[in-house]
Amino acid sequence: MKTLYDKIWDSHIVVPETDAPAILYIDLHLIHEVTTPQAFTGLRRRGLKVRRPDKTVATMDHSIPTTSRSLIGFDEIAANQVRTLAQNCKDFGIALYDLESPKQGIVHVIGPELGVTQPGKTIVCGDSHTSTHGAFGALAHGIGTSEVEMVLATQCLLQRKSKNSRVDFDGRLQPGVTAKDMILALIGKIGTGGGTGSVFEFMGTAVRGLDMEARMTICNMSIEGGARAGLVAPDDTTFQYLSGREFSPKAKSWDEAVARWKKLPSDDGAHYDHSITIDVNALEPMITYGTNPGMAIPLTGRVPQPQNDADAAALKYMALEPGQALLGHPVDVVFIGSCTNSRLSDLRNAAHLMKGRKVNSSVRMLVVPGSYEVKRQAEAEGLDKIFKEAGAEWREAGCSMCIAMNGDAVPAGKVAVSTSNRNFEGRQGRGARTLLASPLTAAASAVEGRVADPRRLGGLS
Amino acid sequence: MKFSSRVVVVPQENIDTDQIIPARFLKVTDKVGIGSHLFEDRTEFQVEKGSQVLVAGNNFACGSSREHAVWALADFGFKAVVSTSFADIFRQNALKNGFLPIVVDPKTHALLKPGTLVTVDLAAQTLSIEGGPTVTFPIDSFAKTCILENLDELGYVLKHEAVISAFEKSA
Ligand code: SF4
């Protein structure tokens, strides 16, 4: 009896674990501009080629501008990094979705969109949010640059097996409560180190009921709970999403693939090292108040008393007092974007709340689609108009204010409600104060100019 | 690998990768001089050059996969970080750079005050505290061999070329 994780692991062992870690075969290697230049330098120094350019996909997302799709006049150091990626892809024969490509986007948004993310695959990328792809029942995790070099050269990774952890989300979500709130609730419960050394498998009725985009939101933030990977067993929702995508199997191979994928879910009675259950019936929208994603409370809750010096320092940085309510806390910036919440359904949710309303005059609101494709679809539905008419900025696809490498930053001391995944000190800009929340909560807060409850704006089903 | 050093202490828990090296310094295409931005936005940490051992609070280096975090610590002059736990990706990145993530229990951790003299002996897997105990620490046996014998992990995998090709054919 095996878990989903056990099955994927076993079928990718090239050399089993002994005193040395196992040599694990990698089916898909996603790369971007920030964590690869030193890896390509390493390859050149050793005179090595990329073993499987056909299993390597590149895009540019982290340090690119989102004001236009051009590097002209852009930060020269960042532009150089972007050009270095283009040169490396050219030299080593790797497909690159660059700023001119209609398929460019955040690496974790375009993988599923293109259909290269598939159940049962092993997927790595020099980026910790590679866990996103686990929503398809793929074993996907972030790696460092030395490992990027190894995968480029050998299509393999030295790896020891992690523990199996199951996370059951049971019940039915109330209106206004989303996948983002589910994952924040989990991390709030177990802390940012709670999943260290393990792979999460998300299951339960509430997970089964989610569409693929919402499942991606949950798996995306597995790393915030300390787990390198998160998994959701593939089902009809998964197959429907993948059917007909550019790189999905076609015709007879599609049927064969689905038959294979159907064997992936964990066997009944398979062993898990840990388990945790969260009842979502009573779940409220969640928001963070501190400087790590584990510092999360229900939106209607109050800032807890600090338990230690670190908590106290976090509250000081955030300029929040214990016992204070977050609802009504003034907001300066609202960011809707990032690989956590920048897909079409996220933009639809936010637009739904914004329609006919205005961004409060005290707020700067940025809406950054996760990919060029998401942007086009959103525009086809008129979502861009809703945002622009409300007074929000509608941007080109990229990581943008999630990591603030490209000049899109929250000013020091300002408060941002952000749909991204990290509220670390300085993450969204030096001195920036980040409150992580769902697109619904972010949109409601933009309208009110204060942290607001989307359920009280009306119009939610 | 054996060295003695007075320790520098940053007691905070959950020091994340954005604090170790803020994202705006990740636009580089090499590793040179990256240590000059170590803890750039955390001036209160008062980490001065000259020590080889950093002591940090629990769950050190959670967050991103950026190997820049290890490069910055190593470039600054550190050879090891002691904590009660590390984020998984950081631990692996560290070992691949011959940089030691040393896990100790909370009691031992509490003995490490700023300026305490310690000796790290990788072969014996021990951390000796001057005027205090010598404790052993766990480390991945393969990574340990690679560091001690200056073996290269990529070279090790490259030697399995034939098995990898066979795997690809059978898949
Ligand atoms: S959107 Fe943010 S978290 Fe996602 S890949 Fe980009 S920088 Fe990383």
Which of A25, A427, A428, A436 to mutate to probe the B interface, most B CBs <10 Å? A427
3-state secondary structure of A156: strand
pLDDT at A461: 56
3-state secondary structure of A214: helix
Q: Is the CB–ligand 1 distance for residue A402 below 6 Å?
A: yes
Closest Cα of chain B to A384: distance in Å? 29
Please give the helix or strand (H or E) that residue A248 lies within, else none.
Answer: none
Looking at chain A from residue 308 to 337, which residues have their Cβ under 8 Å from any Cβ of chain B?
Answer: 308-310, 313
Q: Residues of B27-41 as b/e, b for ≥16 C-beta within 10 angstroms?
A: bbbebeebbebbbbb
pLDDT at B70 over 90: yes
pLDDT at B48: 87
Mean pLDDT along residues B32-37: 93
Of A207, A13, A236, A208, which is closest to residue A119 (Cα–Cα)? A236
Q: What is chain B's length?
A: 171
Partners of residue B58 in chain A, C-beta under 8 Å: 193
Residues B39-59: pLDDT tens digits?
999 888 888 899 999 999 999
Q: Average pLDDT, whole number, for chain B? A: 95
Assign residue A459 a region (left: φ > 0; alpha: ψ between -120 and 50; beta: otherwise): left
Point out which residues pair with B53 in neighbouring strands: B7, B80
Out of 3.40.220.10, 3.40.1060.10, 3.55.40.20, 3.10.20.30, select the CATH number for domain A163-279: 3.40.1060.10
The residue written with tokens 């955030």 in the block is: A318
Domain residues of chain A, as ranges? 4-159, 163-279, 287-457
Does domain A4-159 fall into CATH 3.30.499.10?
yes
pLDDT at B171: 81
Pairing state between β A274-279 and A122-125:
unpaired
Mean pLDDT along residues B26-30: 93
Q: Which of A128, A156, A191 sits opposite B89 (nearest CB)?
A: A128
Which of A8, A82, A425 to mutate to probe the B interface, most B CBs <10 Å? A425
Give the whole-angstrom CA distance, residue A254 versus residue A242.
10
- Whether B56 and chain A come into contact, CB under 8 Å, resolves to no
Contact A84 B11 (CB under 8 A): no
Complete edge-to-edge strand list for the sheet that includes strand A393-394: A393-394, A364-367, A333-336, A415-418, A433-436
Q: Exposed, middle or buried by CB within 10 Å (0-12, 13-18, 19+), for A261? A: buried
Give the whole-angstrom CA distance, residue A358 versus residue A3.
48
Q: What is the DSSP letter of A266?
A: P
Q: How far is CA A297 from the centre of its chain?
A: 20
Please give the helix or strand (H or E) that residue B41 lies within, else none.
Answer: none
HSE of A396 in the Cβ direction (CA atoms, 13 Å)? Answer: 20
- Output the residue whose Cα is nearest ligand 1's atom 6: A399
Mean pLDDT along residues B93-110: 97
Structure tokens at A278: 């969260």
Phi, psi at A313, each rounded to 5°: -65, -40
pLDDT at A254: 98
pLDDT at B32: 87
Domains of chain B: 2-139 (3.20.19.10)
Q: How many Å lie between the centroid of ligand 1 and the Cα of residue B171?
A: 32
Q: What is chain A's length?
A: 461
DSSP state letters, B103-140: E--HHHHHH--TT-EEEEETTTTEEEETTS-EEE----
Partners of residue A228 in chain B, C-beta under 8 Å: 88-89
**Ordered per-residue pLDDT tens for chain A, 461 residues:** 999 999 999 999 999 999 999 999 999 999 999 999 999 999 999 999 999 999 999 999 999 999 999 999 899 999 999 999 999 999 999 999 999 999 999 999 999 999 999 999 999 999 999 999 999 999 999 999 999 999 999 999 999 999 999 999 999 999 999 999 999 999 999 999 999 999 999 999 999 999 999 999 999 999 999 999 999 999 999 999 999 999 999 999 999 999 999 999 999 999 999 999 999 999 999 999 999 999 999 999 999 999 998 899 999 999 999 999 999 999 999 999 999 999 999 999 999 999 999 999 999 999 999 999 999 999 999 999 999 999 999 999 999 999 999 999 999 999 999 999 999 999 999 999 999 999 999 999 999 999 999 999 876 65
Residue type, A67: T
Out of 3.40.50.300, 3.30.499.10, 3.10.50.30, 3.40.50.2000, select the CATH number for domain A287-457: 3.30.499.10
Please give the helix or strand (H or E) that residue A434 lies within, else none.
Answer: strand A433-436
Fold match between A4-159 and A163-279?
A: no
Q: Which of A403, A406, A410 to mutate to test the pocket of ligand 1 (most atoms within 8 A of CB)?
A: A403
Beta strands in A204-280 (DSSP E): 229-231, 274-279
Cα dihedral sign, B106-A311-A168-A161? negative
Q: Which of A31, A33, A34, A61 to mutate to test the pocket of ligand 1 (most atoms within 8 A of CB)?
A: A61
pLDDT at A457: 86
pLDDT at B44: 85
Q: How many Å lie between the centroid of ligand 1 and the Cα of residue A407?
A: 15
Q: How many Å lie between the centroid of ligand 1 and the Cα of residue A129?
A: 7
Give the whole-angstrom CA distance, residue A277 versus residue A55.
37
Please give the helix or strand (H or E) that residue B10 lies within, else none.
Answer: strand B2-10
Contact A228 B89 (CB under 8 A): yes
pLDDT at A309: 87
Q: B162 Cβ partners below 8 Å, 6+ apart?
A: none
The residue written with tokens 């230690």 in the block is: A308
State the CB neighbour count (10 A cutoff) for residue A110.
Answer: 25
Structure tokens at A151: 């995968």
